[in-house]
Chain A
Amino acid sequence: MTARRLVVIVVLALAAACARRPPQPVAPVAQDLVVLAPDPGTGEVGGLLVTSGAGQAELTEARASTTVISGQGPGPVTVLDEATVQQTFGAVLALVPDGAERFELYFETGGDTLTAESAAQLPSVIARVRARVAPEVSIIGHTDTTGTAESNVALGLERAGLIRDLLVGDGLDVSLIEVVSHGESDPLVPTPDNTAEGRNRRVEVTIR
């Protein structure tokens, strides 16, 4: 009788111990690792807000990270060392395309004639387009406030079109160039209406 009771107690104790053990996952649980990295060009560190289920984690410093496991909120924020980031993300970091490059070209008053200085700069802009892998170009034409707003939209387009035609002449596919005119609506230097201002007679060329 005593021996049987002992067996029962042992069995119950084992059962209780088993019940307390957490269930073992049968398959790997889905999880994300999210890391905030410095900007590859400027080194600037922004911020990320990671939301999962009811939980949120805010990443605000370089290499701050969180691991998110499916069904749970984001884990605690930890700052990884550079070697750990490189180990996991080194290959993909090496693939990041070059950042966009911007140029401003200036015009003589009232038409689409480049200033001597900007005409001299043009070859280096064309060289940058050639140097980049699979480039696309955005060209935005601007004017000063001389003349009407409507005619300045047309003039801005004419200035932007001049640069586009030069790039197309150099072999860039026209479908890879976006041409826009902001007319007099987006001056570099704000002025009253009907004011000649050389810094506003410009075309912004962005190569990406």
Chain B
Amino acid sequence: MKNWIERQKKIIDFTLSSLLRRKGKNGALILVYTLVVFLLASVMFFVQALKREASLVLKGAPEMIVQRVVVGRNDSIPLDYADRIKEIRGVASVKGRLWGYYYDPVTGANYTFMVPEESPPEKGRITIGKGVSRARFIDEEDEMEFRAFDGVIFNLTVGQVFSSESELISSDLVLVSEDDFRRLFGTGKDRATDLVLRIRNPRELSVIAQKIAELLPDTRVILREEILRTYDMVFNWRGGLTVVILFGGLMAFAILAWDKASGLSAEERREIGILKAIGWETSDVILMKFWEGTAISLSSFFVGILLAYVHVFFLSGALFEPVLKGWAVLYPKYKLVPFISAYQLGTLFFLTVVPYTVATIVPSWRAATIDPDSVMRG
């Protein structure tokens, strides 16, 4: 074993000094390689972290939501629907929620208004997200002007601004009291935006959903799983979109790598001939080329991963924000919780390191099987 390690050490040693001879060429290759790994890893980390964040947020979401639909569009739902749903066996509780989107012509942004279930703000006061605060240049105790459903303008005072830790979900949020909400959106006392249900046994979800659809044909039922699935699809789609764009870069890299790795230069062929002539076996030459490929691809891989980590988790994926976060006006400023899975790293490894190493070995193997007497002929 010791002898085996000695042999590997000497061959690695020669490989490294051999690589250093072509600093410019190998340096450029490592640079491009690192960039490709960095971009791919950034997309993967970003999408995974967002998905994870979303699923954590949705964990606390209600199992079932019932909305009223009028000619295919959402409408407010009468609160007496809640009483009728409560009578269905298996339903633990039904509560009306008040929320809605408000378009602010000043900033061109949409705010999400919501009446929180627990400790809502006092009448005339609101709690706003950082994004709203930034967009309107307002802070605590400032007044904010809103135009109600009937065109009447009225002011609300900012009681609190959300902390930046929760910004990913609270950036565009405005928490408001029930009275103010109804005045702003024109929702009657007997109505809510939608109903949230708690179900005793999760296995009965689909049965209860079906019963509601039969009982109240002007409603639609949304399950938590469906929301999770939609989130997953949205992030996958956006991630996929970026990967498609990256694909061009990836192909260019593949051509470069193949050309570099497969097209051995005359100088390299001569060197392989010399090594064989002085007593190296074909397997020794292949081992050297394997270490060469590994040194380039592994160093690029690790540097790329490291840069992507910094990019996604410290700089909030600055390069991909526009694509991955959608077209929101109020970009949240936030830090994603670092999350990397072995599966992700494994996929990336097999996409980058393995093909390159193979591309290095195959042509060397072909070159290494030639008769060493070629060097004697100059």
Genuine A/B complex: no
Residues of A near any B CB (own CB < 8 A): none
Residues of B near any A CB (own CB < 8 A): none
